[in-house]
Structure 1
Amino acid sequence: MNTKLLSFFRAVTNRSEKDVFKSTQGRLTRMYSGLLMLFLILFIVIVYSVLYVIILKNQEHELDSLVNQEASFIENYLMKNEQRDLHGIQNQEIVFAGVNQYFYYVVNANGELILGNEADRRLRPDLLNLVKSSFQNEIRKVTLHVESNLGGRGNKGEFHPHEDAHDIRLMVASHSIYNNGQFIGQLYIGKDISFAYQLFHLLLMILVALGIVFFGVATFMSVVMSKRAMIPISGAFSRQREFVADASHELRTPLSVLLSSIDAMEMTIEPVKEEEGDFVGRLLSNMRQEVKRMTNLVSDLLTLARSDSNTIETKTESFDFRAQADKAMESVNPLAASKQISLNLQAPATLMATGDPQRLSQLLYILLDNAIKYTPNGGEVQLSLSEEARQLCIKVQDTGIGIKQEDQNHIFERFYRADKSRSRQMGGHGLGLSIAKWIVDTHGGTIQLSSEVGKGSTFVIRIPQ
């Protein structure tokens, strides 16, 4: 049983580290993919827009040339035959069909249709309404809807094949006709450009299909690039972790020597005067306090470094957690007494738990020490222990300064301090809650925080048994 739990604890630590690198790699992959797709989308938009403009401009140029040519032909015809109006050419076929030409109409100055022809006689009323609208010597794009029919011959004998309802896109140009400087009518020519829009639709589908293929390629390339980018990051993290572990381990010995030396100095120095004794005493007390604070920091750094490298041997056994709680309360009681803080414990007489006694005891000390530090003089700190649904429940509640809502999601991060100036004054270095979170994670538990500024905070830990 103990071996299985130990393997589980190590797996949790490994998974936590892997999750960090995996999330970082995921962000890099999304960033690379996003940049590549951005360039692809810009490329598609530019290509599509350029082709759209070029094709339509080419159609406009062809239609403009056609309407100018045929208007000149009519004017030359009128001059050659010495006609003063268009009525004399009603039976003359003087306008030649161009490529994809859908209709042509010649209208006199009174708005009467003199001659014309269209590909579909059913659309003549719509086309006449179109040309009678006021536009001259300009090019307009319109869409006409053609109703479905069953085929056969129309009223005038034209044969219409079976066709479904569809839209026809026309580009219509007009040109004024003059005879001896006098306006006598207007020429309208409509060109069917439906094929151009079909081409645009096909082109868009091709570009989208290429975009989907390129998206897959971009995603694959982004994964490869992010993996390569993570290699130096992972190496740097490992070297940094090893350095912190080695440095912390090497610093523990000189700090222990310093603390022992200060204790020896206090016992051996005999002050000559009372004022000098007070000064030396305060000096040695400050030195001891700073050395202890540095020792705690080094110990926390070493704990986190070893937890990252999985070199901490986690013991799993059954023990009386109430006894560990009594020892933790006794350990922090002097700190609470110095601030006149009421320290209370609510727990059954015996509470059996399964886990690492040393780490769970450290968890209690961190939470209690943190609660006492951030509770003003005369406040209250309460530790509650219970067993709920086969879970060890630990609740630490204080009447301290509380934690802002925007800071609550970050307090378990290493070296994070909501109020840096206050934390320095109280001796905090932002590692305690990170270690607490690590201890809870290695035991497969959860830690939750509820806090309100000015009213206090409550930490609730649940550890499976």
Structure 2
Amino acid sequence: MSGRRQDADARLVRRTTWTVGAWMTAAATLLVVAVLVAAASIVLGQIPLSSLLDRRHHEEMIDVGGLDALAGVVVIGVLAIVLACALSLIVTRRAVAPLVDALARQRRFVADASHELRTPLAVLDTRLQVLERSLSADDPQRGIVAELRGDSRRLIAVVSDLLDSLDVAPSGRADPVPLAPIVESAVSSIRVLAEGADVRVTAAPIEPHVQVAIPPASLHRALVALLENAMKNSPAGAEVTVTTAAGHTQVRIAVTDQGPGIRGIPPERVFDRFAHADPPAGDRTGARTGFGIGLSLVQDTAGRFGGGVEVTGTGPDGTTITITLPRARHGRGDAS
């Protein structure tokens, strides 16, 4: 199935390439023809067509005044510019049409999937709420049920955030939210997976007054993606750490692993969808490390709210990926 999908994508790219190339050739041809027609009109203005085609009559030169030549050059130049602009618009529209269609299909898929997931998740959360209420206060399973309900609420928030992300324009504004609870929640969510991989996940303390201008669900989703990537690239017994540095206008959240580092591709390319790095040294399987779409979504999420993400360090001792977000100011209690 994957091979057939890749073949279809390759055929689409080739077909689009040939189409764009044909349109560019046609545009260049029309531009050349227009210049030739303009030049021919100047010649025919001096020499009648009958005389020009008469082999017995040979014209050595044509007489064009300086003002006429200047006017002709200006007219030809203006017509060439107008024609080039018109053809460029047509060719560009033809070239980006497949991209527009692909984006539309992607948005429709995300919207349909999110809408379909909302109702089952709401039912799941309601049933967990009923189960939680049915347990006595001293029941040892009550804490686990509470955690499950918290996970379901976060999943509902992620689905809502996916619907919000369909707006490709930058959001620009978001209510200030405390950073510490979001980081703690993301670390708690990934610890369940990290324990199975024998990887420790820790977070440095964050001042309670530090706030960021991004929806909690968006930031939680981005941090979980970073932590999951760090966990997958860490050997057994390693540690993944989250540190925060709050500046005057920005907050930097760094996720550091103890993996082998990014190998085989430039560090900035790990944010490309389905980017692959070389396997660690000594790995006999030859399997390439994949980054999936998680880091790409992190980049999209940070960018939507005026932030960014980058690889701030990578080497044999580990990799650090840092999210930068606008710091929110909310009142007198906020210190720099």
Give the deviation of 1:446 after TM superposition.
1.9
Counterpart check, 1:219 vs 2:219 = no
Give the deviation of 1:443 after TM superposition.
2.3
2:146 — aligned with what?
A: none
Give the deviation of 1:464 after TM superposition.
1.6
1:371 — aligned with what?
A: 230
Q: Please, what TM-score do these two structures have when normalized by structure 1?
A: 0.42
Report the Cα distance in structure 1 between the residues aligned to 2:256 and 2:105, rounded to whole angstroms: 39
Counterpart check, 1:322 vs 2:188 = no
**394, 412, 427: which one aligns with 2:271:** 412
1:21 — aligned with what?
A: none
Letter in 2 for 1:430: G
Give the deviation of 1:299 after TM superposition.
9.4
SS in 1 for 2:165: helix
Counterpart check, 1:40 vs 2:31 = yes
Q: How does 1:57-456 map to 2 (within 5 A)?
A: 206=72, 210-223=76-89, 226-227=92-93, 234=100, 237-250=103-116, 303-304=161-162, 306-309=164-167, 316-319=175-178, 321-355=179-213, 356-404=215-263, 406=265, 408-413=267-272, 415-418=273-276, 430-452=292-314, 454-456=316-318
Report the Cα distance in structure 2 between the residues aligned to 1:352 and 1:206, rounded to whole angstroms: 68
Report the Cα distance in structure 2 between the residues aligned to 1:214 and 1:340, rounded to whole angstroms: 68
**Contact in 2 for aligned 1:29/1:219 (Cα 8 Å):** no
Question: Residues 399-442 of structure 1: CA distance to partner in whole angstroms, max 9, x if unpaired?
Answer: 224334745444334x42315999xx999782322332232123
Q: 1:215 to 1:371 in 2, by over 3 A?
A: same
**313, 320, 331: which one aligns with 1:458:** 320
Letter in 1 for 2:304: T
Identity of aligned residues (%): 26
Question: Residues 49-75 of structure 1: CA distance to partner in whole angstroms, max 9, x if unpaired?
Answer: xxxxxxxxx9xx99xxxxxxxxxxxxx
Structure ranking higher in strand proportion: 1
Report the Cα distance in structure 2 between the residues aligned to 1:219 and 1:233, rounded to whole angstroms: 21
Letter in 1 for 2:180: R
Q: 1:430 to 1:253 in 2, by over 3 A?
A: farther
Give the deviation of 1:350 after TM superposition.
3.0
Give the deviation of 1:394 after TM superposition.
0.8
Give the deviation of 1:219 after TM superposition.
0.6
Question: Residues 139-191 of structure 1: CA distance to partner in whole angstroms, max 9, x if unpaired?
Answer: xxxxxxxxxxxxxxxxxxxxxxxxxxxxxxxxxxxxxxxxxxxxxxxxxxxxx
Letter in 2 for 1:40: L
Give the deviation of 1:223 after TM superposition.
2.0
SS in 2 for 1:389: coil
Question: Residues 229-263 of structure 1: CA distance to partner in whole angstroms, max 9, x if unpaired?
Answer: 767864664355223321343257679999xxxxx
Unaligned runs of 5+ in 1: 1-27, 49-57, 63-192, 259-291
Report the Cα distance in structure 1 between the residues aligned to 2:71 and 2:263, rounded to whole angstroms: 52
Letter in 2 for 1:439: T
Report the Cα distance in structure 1 between the residues aligned to 2:78 and 2:274, rounded to whole angstroms: 43
Q: Please, what TM-score do these two structures have when normalized by structure 2?
A: 0.55
Aligned Cα root-mean-square deviation (Å)? 5.5
Larger Rg: 1
Q: 1:255 to 1:411 in 2, by over 3 A?
A: farther
